[in-house]
Structure 1
Amino acid sequence: MAQETTVARPYAEAAFDLARGADALAGWADGLANAAAVVADERVDALLRNPRVEAEQKAGFILEVCGESLDLQQRNFIRLLVERDRIGVLPEIRRQYDELRARHERTLDAELVTAQPVDDAVRDRVAAALSKRLDRTVSLDARVDETLIGGAIVRAGDMVIDGSVRGRLASLTGAISR
């Protein structure tokens, strides 16, 4: 995993630089997502790992499946990845690209997990508080996890705020057992 991250980094940065230069951050995000989904398919992965299939055929297959969702630069990027035998790290390249884009646009996806459904007003207050605290525009996704018993968990990037009853009980159990 660490090696994959290291290998993917320069390609993600190059894709981001190309996209930013062309003012096409969203288009590149969509194109990378589509191509990464194709590459992540286990049947396609088997084809890509087959040493009998030429690089040109591999690239042609991916590009054909992606169709018109890729522009010329993106198509050349896919060809380059295939030629350099780096197409397998495309999902990681896409993930890193998305992080670079979010940092550039000062956005962050966050998740609010609660034991009970929350209304839009609560969701908006939590998103506003996170936006203020993190100095970014926060897009908040809410979901219900009945195993929490009560309270909530907020995940935003690397930050996790566990205010759930389950989390508090786990902390208390850990403190008692020491």
Structure 2
Amino acid sequence: MAHYHYDIEKLVDRLADSGELDSFLDDVARYGMMCSENRRIEDILESPHVLAETKAALVETLIAPFFGWPFTALIERLRENGDIAAYPRLVESVRRTVRERTGACFADVASCQPLTGAQLERIRAHLQKLCGHRVYLMNMIDHDLLAGFVISIEGRMIDLSVRGDLSTLRTSLLEENR
């Protein structure tokens, strides 16, 4: 981390003890979706050229009203400490700690547009059957996808996109022409 030490074990313990771990992880996923749709949010928070007051106002207007207090407090602490660029590493540490303690799986679902809650729940249910553990999903926007989605879970990729289908078709056509 850039300037400060963040005790991930303690953070996860406090969230679990207060019953807020699942909502915190949901907020992490929603923040990821928000930032994948509008890259300027991270750019503003990370920029050394943007005034601290402007960054604080962004947190106050775009994050605080829509996210739980533990997540908002974390973003605010990172912003205050000048460590917002460390957020992805911190989230990965939280994921690793939760995975080690609970056996939960984390899946990133890339799609060309945001998936609905019902769509995400269907994906989660199928993945939980495959993993045998709780699955946390993070839906991200990938503007290069035409349709469908790509799932990355525990080092594996499941490509259910039109781009993947076209790539498979191209490979089979090339093999037939040899």
TM-score (norm: length of structure 2): 0.50
Q: More helix by proportion, 1 or 2?
A: 1
TM-score (norm: length of structure 1): 0.50
Which protein shows a greater Rg?
A: 1
Greater RCO, CA 8 A, separation 6+: 2
